[in-house]
Amino acid sequence: MAAISRAQLLRELLPGLDALFGMEYNRYENEYAEIYTEHSSERSFEQDQKITGFQTAPVKQEGSAILFDTAQEGYTATYVMETISMGFALTEEAFEDNLYGNLSARYSTELGRAMRNTKEIKAAVPFNTGFTAVASGGYGVGDGVQLFSTAHPQVAGPTIANRPSVAVDLNETSLEAATIQIAKWTDDRGKLINARVRKMLVPVDNQYVATRVLDTQLQPGTANNDVNAIRVTAAVPEGFAVNHYFTDPDSWFLATDVPNGAKYFNRVPVSQKTDGDFDTGNIRVAERERYAFGFADYLAIWGSPGA
């Protein structure tokens, strides 16, 4: 087991340093909470089952029999708990001879930053790989296609899309088209659902475009005196959130109010263990947690990878 020794901390063993730097940066806090609802878990995996209801009721002709419809199950969304863990060790001598604060506390703080960074990266995976075919490693919900698809299969058909047919950048026109597309969504038996946009999610590269599209008083990008219809109608009532872990700079996403969408299962909360190795005198610190991020209903999210 590798340990941080005095050979790696030479300057910290000598007087005269004014400051130590490189691990005291501010960090982006819990951006995944803008996307996912948290659930507890007591199993190695969790599953959500899609079910279908009835078709639109037909007209019954006089003297004819009543139509008795059936219901059935759709796809199953599965969340597999992953174990995330890392640690460090300090030699007894390095701990004793360091002149600038508590080494264990300093690197414990850095260990926490590393664990949180992994969680944010894991939370962004469905967005960063959701436009890639499942067979090529893209993220899918269980219906055989990627999360953002023009052809999610439905029980009664036809297919349904939660992305544009042609990838588009974020602008007033494309956002209006997306909200109209979402307003026309149907369930698996072809009945209209009242799905509404809640919030826009964008990478840091798209934050200024999102601001102009959502927050200007008048129609953005023109000399017209028309009102900004998106703002006036509160088409995106919760505004937008920036996620610094989205990797595609011109992608953009719309979270809807459809339930059972983005879920974060907290199987084992993060915990820290510290002990001393009797043989070497090394001080060992480790952190561990178990969780899973994923989606059940793809209608809870709409996305475009940008043009």
Q: Residue 100: what pLDDT?
A: 47
**Which burial class, exposed, middle or buried, applies to 35 when counting CB atoms under 10 A from its CB (0-12, 13-18, 19+)?**
buried
Q: Residue 20: what pLDDT?
A: 47
**Which burial class, exposed, middle or buried, applies to 157 when counting CB atoms under 10 A from its CB (0-12, 13-18, 19+)?**
exposed
Instruction: Say if residue 68's pLDDT is above 80.
Output: yes
Torsion of CA 36, 43, 128, 186, to 10 degrees: -60
DSSP character at residue 223: S
Taking only the tens place, the pLDDT of each residue in 85-94 is 999 888 888 7
Pairwise CA distance, residues 118 & 101, whole Å? 27
Looking up tokens 């951006």 gives 31
Instruction: Say if residue 18's pLDDT is above 70.
Output: no
Q: Residue 182: CB partners within 8 Å, gap ≥ 6?
A: 195, 196, 197, 254, 256, 302
Q: Residue 42: what pLDDT?
A: 94
CATH of domain 34-48+79-304: 3.90.1690
Mean pLDDT, to the nearest integer, of 283-303? 95
Q: Residue 146: what pLDDT?
A: 97
Every domain of the chain and the residues it spans: 34-48+79-304
User: How does the average pLDDT of the chain come out, rounded?
Assistant: 89
- Phi, psi (degrees; rounded to nearest 5) at 294: 180, 180
The mean-pLDDT minimum among 83-87, 141-145, 219-223 falls in: 219-223
Instruction: Say if residue 205's pLDDT is above 60.
Output: yes
- Read off the amino acid at residue 174: S
Q: Residue 63: CB partners within 8 Å, gap ≥ 6?
A: none
pTM score of the predicted model? 0.88
Q: How confident is the model at residue 225 (pLDDT cuts 50, 70, 90)?
A: low
Q: Residue 48: what pLDDT?
A: 95
